[in-house]
Structure 1
Amino acid sequence: MEAPLSTWPWEKLGSFKYLLYGPFVAKVMYSRHQEDNIMATWCLHVLILCSLRGLIYQLWSSFSNMLFLTRNRRIIKQGVDFKQIDKEWDWDNFILLQALMASLAYYAFPNLVNLPIWDLNGFMVIIILHIIFSEPLYYYFHRCFHGSYLFKHYHSLHHSSDVPQPFTAGHATFLEQILLGAVIGIPILGCYLMGYGSVAMIYSYILMFDFLRCLGHCNFEIIPHHLFLAFPFMKYLIYTPTYHSLHHTEMGTNFCLFMPLFDVVGNTLNPKSWDMHTKASIESGKNGRVPDFVFLAHVVDMTSALHVPYVFRSFSSTPFTTKLYIIPLLPLSFLAMIVMWLYSKPFLNTFYYLQGYLHQTWVVPRFGFQYFLPFATEGINKQIEQAILRADKLGVKVISLAALNKNEALNGGGTLFVNKHPNLKVRVVHGNTLTAAVILNEIPKHITEVFLTGATSKLGRAIALYLCTRQVRVLMLTSSTERFQKIQKEAPAEYQKYLVQVTKYQAAENCKTWIVGKWITPREQKFAPAGAHFHQFVVPPVLPFRSDCTYGDLAAMRLPPHVNGLGSCEYTMERGVVHACHAGGVVHSLEGWTHHEVGAIDVHRIDLVWKAALNHGLMPVSSFTENH
């Protein structure tokens, strides 16, 4: 049985909970026609405050997740996983609750509407009231909630988050947030009753309260230790992220709201607090742990560029689709694109741990369309080269190139960098061997004929050579006889007859297995017979035009369940799923292979790489494979 007031009254409403703001909006709209001064309405102030409060938490969350800025300052090193994100999904419940509490305050104290805009004395009074009432009251409540019964039924929810985040500050039970509302409200009401209340005072106090809560939960040290060296008394007046993180790891200490002074008085100060803070501050300029593996990704377009943890964490934690609320942010995405052109250094996007190895994703600051601009080729290659050299200098073992970063026309599948820098210690990997393995293992064993587009590409060549040795007839769509014959000669003599050049889609009218490596239009899909299945390794994937045919997923693999710290989806992939080329780099790293995987695919290694991936717990995700 649930404890009283441990769950939220609107818990089952989901996103419809925001309709509870409706009466406030209705009141504002009504006042627009009935009153001369719309700013005089209490409801308008409540709505503005709620919006600003949400913005503060969002901006702090964005800053906290900008790993390219904060990675060396992080206190708890592990990443925020999907489990924590889902737990904290409704972190903003307390803002709605306190909006409703504010509406009750309006009816109890109607003169609150008539407060002056500004009263300087009120700022001093509310600081004093905060120190006298809010700080000790919060400290007392907080210690009580760490008692056996209250912690188990209420406060354990807050501590269930492994990594403190700004949103973690709002993640608590209904009862706790009611009491927090009282802690915030007492100084405001006290200031009002003493005649020093003002609109600016209310705004400033509430927003600063939220700002400091986010500061304590941000999980990266931002306050320099020099501040406490210069002004020793300050360490009793303001807590730090390191100070508060100790409460989450050693819960019997550091209970204060914002002022460690009350932990000193209550004898609950963690003796490591300031030594840890000093160490974290000093080491913030040093590089932390070197990743074992780096996946060098790139931005696809301006919309998907917003699918990163430091924009909206919740949006990033689900497979990418274009959402309506993302559209207004496109100008910001365009501005980011311009900044990325100017600041060309690859930046860290996310990280996770697999079997104790640290894996990071770096992002080349170039959008997808730029890869197809002839004049941009040199600049893009230079940025990829810088990323590889940076990884080499840091001591990274393997760096894997995402789709367009290894484009054949761009850099020969990575051969450009390996040839230019023959003494690289970091292994450069395009991951296409595992991509080929995923596609080939989707194809049912009984198939005797396939139709292959993109037949002379790296993947097309490898797939054709592999299948012909299995005595599968491969119809290779290509207009270049020279390129076809070059591939055919690579096959053993007894299997060359299974490779057949075709120049038109009509040649596949009776073939039910299509392997698409080059984008095909709906018109071209019409040549496939009913019941055909389209396997594909083309980006973007083909449009599912035929209702009487089936369409495969892009080659991808699911990471093992013991991966931790992963909290964002890779483009349109499901949670815990990565593109096969990404997974190929992971396997290369875990196996400790010392060769570069660039240029043409070694067909003889396809089965070896596939078995290695399965041995490490990676699994294919194709629905076609599951059904066949």
Structure 2
Amino acid sequence: MKNKRIITPNTREEAPLFSWPWDNLQNFKYLLYGPLICKALHAIYTKEITKNDNIWCLHILILFYHRALVHQLWSSYTNMLFLNRARRIDQRGVEFNQIDAEWHWDNFLILQITVASLSYMSFSLLANLPLWDLRGIICCIILHIGISEPFYYWIHRLLHTPVLFQHYHFLHHSSKVVNPFTGAHLSFLEHILLCVVIGIPTLGTALIGYGSIGLMYGYLFVFDFLRCLQHSNVEVVPCQLFQAIPLLKYLVCTPTYHSLHHAETGTNFCLFMPFYDKLWNTLNGKSWDLHEEISTRTNSRVPDFVFLAHGVDIMSAMHAPFVFRSFSSIPFSTKPFLIVMWPFTFVVMLVMWAKSKTFLFSFYNLRGRLHHTWAVPRFGFQYFLPFAAEGINNQIEDAILKADRIGVKVISLAALNKNEGLNGGGTRFTNKHPNLRVRLVHGNTLTAAVILNEIPRDIDEVFLTGATSKLGRAIALYLARRKVKVMMLTPSEERFLKIKKEAPLGFENYLVQVTKYQAAKNCKTWIIGKWTTPRQQYYAPSGTHFHQFVVPPIIPFRLDCSYGKLAAMKLPEDVEGLGSCEYTMERGVVHACHAGGVVHLLEGWKHNEVGAIDVDQIDVVWKAALRHGFKPL
């Protein structure tokens, strides 16, 4: 991934020490850890790890791994919308451009590893530190409160002066929505100054003679924990704590307190202790009232639209924004690190099954309307287990009833959640609950429209698998009206004849039943609605294009053929707060059934779109999607 850090014009020329020395290395920067890792591995192999220089090398690596983990865990918690949506301070979502700008948030770890290594070589006192020294804890606290806190406060105020802000500190404030990684999103110079802030209590205590290994670990862990907490965008400190112990207001910088610094940049400059803002008259007067309001909030804004998704497999489950934000922001593909995490994810999956609760996955705003993606904790293979059907339908039904209860206007079902064999494309729920206020939409009408508009107008025949499914039926009838011969692969003559009878008079002969793939050996347009094996794909002639609406999509084995992706549309340009990709889709692209539900909402349609697709509505829905700014790929 390229470094996409956002900078203002002339920043690189006019601001010394703004950029990181290893900027051009991009992700190869991690090779800079190589010497330390090699030294530690060699020491372990030769059993000399207990020597002072080797043990400190290992300590540095372990410490900085855990510092990265602290940031990642806070990021995961912040993105667990199903846990903390109501207590989010800024209700906007983190967008792709901010994720790209903060992509290399961990640059500071390389800098501080370098500083730590140089400190060890420069100060021999670090060589024989004890495991623990209580006097060192007291000394460290005094140095932090008495020197580091005021030093940071005045440096921070200085960075807000026009010249320094324009050339350095603007980078930190360019992040619209603060999150744990935003705390590390600073220029090189600012992180050098932070090294001084951290070094005063840690190295200072060691030089005085009270240093310890426990102090080094503890101070850095607490420092990172508090930095991540105040940038978390979720209020986690209960106001009752401040009501019980008022003095704590001036000792603990809460996420709400720090958020006001980003909203009103002339206030709340402190590192962790608002006491210094109070002392030097920069404390925002709204700090405590806003903190009480947010920390006691129990409900969040009701979404106008919900897309009810599901997992595809265990690997793709790790594409959730609360796992790795950066990985979620690019289209899903299997990566080596996912294999290492698979066992842990499997255990989490079992817990999710046991809990059986739908959870909020992601959200975005479109023209002032809030759009949620809820996920059913079920995976693709489960939908094909007969004994699992009732449980899955119960979860979908619970989600629909919850949406109806809280006032959602439209809920759209993803892929397998509207499977014909599972619930009749949603008819099970509308029949059981005829008085639903929420509109239930399967979105297949727009899916059919996207597939049909991908097919060139000049073709005269197509080969269609999954021909008697909802989508297959609609595609076949629509193409027959266009006088396109449709070879419908189905062994059931009864189902074929039923569809053929629906064709308008004079067009029914364009529908032809076939029972073998060999029948399409001369047809170069295949529409795949049922899983097709490599052997079956072999019957397609060279140059064939495979359109598809099968989930999961077929594997592209034929090098002499081309393969389309699942039906999808690009969201309108005015979408806000979108920072994750929908499965394998590109940024800003959603599956057509998802887009179909959004169009349903934007048009204000009052009918449910369930069951069989109304062929007459295909062009209507397509034109409505284009009118609202959706674009075909």
Distance 1:489 1:603 in 2: 14
| Corresponding residue of 1:367 | 379
Matched, 1:117 2:131: yes
Corresponding letter in the other structure for 1:580: A
Match of 1:260 among 255, 268, 274: 274
| Corresponding residue of 1:466 | 478
Secondary structure of 2:425's partner? Answer: coil
| Corresponding residue of 1:511 | 523
Q: CA deviation at 1:547?
A: 2.3
Distance 1:21 1:549 in 2: 44
Q: Given that residues 41 and 113 in structure 1 are in contact (C-alpha distance below 8 angstroms), is that contact kept between their aligned partners in structure 2?
A: no
Q: Given that residues 125 and 206 in structure 2 are in contact (C-alpha distance below 8 angstroms), is that contact kept between their aligned partners in structure 1?
A: no
| Corresponding residue of 1:37 | 50
Secondary structure of 1:348's partner? Answer: strand
Distance 1:239 1:137 in 2: 16
Match of 1:244 among 258, 271, 275: 258
Secondary structure of 2:488's partner? Answer: strand
Matches within 5 A, 1:334-373: 334-373=346-385
| Corresponding residue of 1:520 | 532
Matched, 1:551 2:599: no
Distance 1:38 1:357 in 2: 62
Q: Given that residues 125 and 207 in structure 2 are in contact (C-alpha distance below 8 angstroms), is that contact kept between their aligned partners in structure 1?
A: no
**Structure 2: stretches of 5+ with no match in the other structure:** 1-12
Secondary structure of 1:597's partner? Answer: coil
CA-atom RMSD in angstroms: 1.1
Deviations 1:251-292 (A, max 9, x none): 110000000000011111111011100111121x2x211000
Matches within 5 A, 1:201-350: 201-283=215-297, 285=298, 287-350=299-362
Secondary structure of 1:500's partner? Answer: strand
Q: CA deviation at 1:620?
A: 1.1
Q: CA deviation at 1:15?
A: 1.4
Secondary structure of 1:413's partner? Answer: helix
| Greater alpha carbon shift after TM alignment, 237-246 vs 30-39 | 30-39
* CA shift in 2, pair 1:203/1:529, >3 Å: same
Matched, 1:599 2:611: yes
**Structure 1: stretches of 5+ with no match in the other structure:** 622-628
| Corresponding residue of 2:119 | 105
Matched, 1:86 2:107: no
Q: Given that residues 49 and 55 in structure 2 are in contact (C-alpha distance below 8 angstroms), is that contact kept between their aligned partners in structure 1?
A: no
| Corresponding residue of 1:626 | none
Q: Given that residues 400 and 428 in structure 1 are in contact (C-alpha distance below 8 angstroms), is that contact kept between their aligned partners in structure 2?
A: yes
Distance 1:414 1:252 in 2: 54
Corresponding letter in the other structure for 1:67: L
* CA shift in 2, pair 1:43/1:423, >3 Å: same
| Corresponding residue of 1:130 | 144
Q: Given that residues 450 and 475 in structure 1 are in contact (C-alpha distance below 8 angstroms), is that contact kept between their aligned partners in structure 2?
A: yes
| Corresponding residue of 2:630 | 618
Matches within 5 A, 1:444-523: 444-523=456-535
Distance 1:425 1:363 in 2: 21
* CA shift in 2, pair 1:550/1:118, >3 Å: same
Secondary structure of 1:311's partner? Answer: coil
Deviations 1:563-600 (A, max 9, x none): 11111111111111111111111111111111000000
Match of 1:571 among 555, 561, 583: 583
Matched, 1:186 2:200: yes
Q: CA deviation at 1:307?
A: 0.5
| Corresponding residue of 1:430 | 442
Matched, 1:66 2:87: no
Q: Given that residues 566 and 591 in structure 2 are in contact (C-alpha distance below 8 angstroms), is that contact kept between their aligned partners in structure 1?
A: yes
Q: CA deviation at 1:548?
A: 2.2
* CA shift in 2, pair 1:514/1:36, >3 Å: closer
Q: CA deviation at 1:34?
A: 6.9
Distance 1:136 1:585 in 2: 54
Q: CA deviation at 1:300?
A: 0.8
Deviations 1:297-333 (A, max 9, x none): 0011111111101111111111111111111111111
Secondary structure of 2:363's partner? Answer: strand
Shift >6 Å, 4+ stretches? none
Distance 2:515 2:386 in 1: 28
Distance 1:85 1:104 in 2: 32
Corresponding letter in the other structure for 2:180: P
Match of 1:561 among 573, 576, 579: 573
Q: CA deviation at 1:296?
A: 0.3
Q: Given that residues 254 and 260 in structure 1 are in contact (C-alpha distance below 8 angstroms), is that contact kept between their aligned partners in structure 2?
A: yes
Q: CA deviation at 1:24?
A: 1.4
Corresponding letter in the other structure for 1:306: M
Corresponding letter in the other structure for 1:140: W
Q: CA deviation at 1:514?
A: 1.2
* CA shift in 2, pair 1:27/1:398, >3 Å: same
Q: CA deviation at 1:36?
A: 6.2
* CA shift in 2, pair 1:480/1:238, >3 Å: same
Distance 2:17 2:218 in 1: 30
Corresponding letter in the other structure for 1:323: K
Distance 1:20 1:544 in 2: 38
Q: Given that residues 556 and 563 in structure 2 are in contact (C-alpha distance below 8 angstroms), is that contact kept between their aligned partners in structure 1?
A: yes
Distance 1:304 1:615 in 2: 33
Distance 2:528 2:43 in 1: 61
TM-score norm. by structure 1 comes to 0.97
Distance 2:530 2:36 in 1: 54
Q: Given that residues 92 and 577 in structure 2 are in contact (C-alpha distance below 8 angstroms), is that contact kept between their aligned partners in structure 1?
A: yes
Q: Given that residues 169 and 214 in structure 1 are in contact (C-alpha distance below 8 angstroms), is that contact kept between their aligned partners in structure 2?
A: yes
Corresponding letter in the other structure for 1:572: T
* CA shift in 2, pair 1:248/1:531, >3 Å: same
Distance 1:531 1:27 in 2: 55
* CA shift in 2, pair 1:38/1:426, >3 Å: farther
Secondary structure of 2:19's partner? Answer: coil
Q: Given that residues 40 and 49 in structure 2 are in contact (C-alpha distance below 8 angstroms), is that contact kept between their aligned partners in structure 1?
A: no
Deviations 1:208-245 (A, max 9, x none): 00000001000010000001111111100111000000
Matches within 5 A, 1:162-173: 162-173=176-187
Deviations 1:492-521 (A, max 9, x none): 111111111111222212222111111112
Distance 1:476 1:423 in 2: 38
Q: CA deviation at 1:529?
A: 2.0
TM-score norm. by structure 2 comes to 0.96
Distance 2:296 2:103 in 1: 34
Deviations 1:520-554 (A, max 9, x none): 12222222222221111112222222222222111
Distance 1:547 1:362 in 2: 37
Corresponding letter in the other structure for 2:148: S
Q: CA deviation at 1:19?
A: 1.2
Distance 1:231 1:584 in 2: 53
Q: Given that residues 337 and 367 in structure 1 are in contact (C-alpha distance below 8 angstroms), is that contact kept between their aligned partners in structure 2?
A: no
Distance 2:623 2:314 in 1: 37
Q: CA deviation at 1:2?
A: 3.9
Q: Given that residues 28 and 38 in structure 1 are in contact (C-alpha distance below 8 angstroms), is that contact kept between their aligned partners in structure 2?
A: no
Secondary structure of 2:109's partner? Answer: helix
Distance 1:196 1:110 in 2: 14
Aligned length: 619
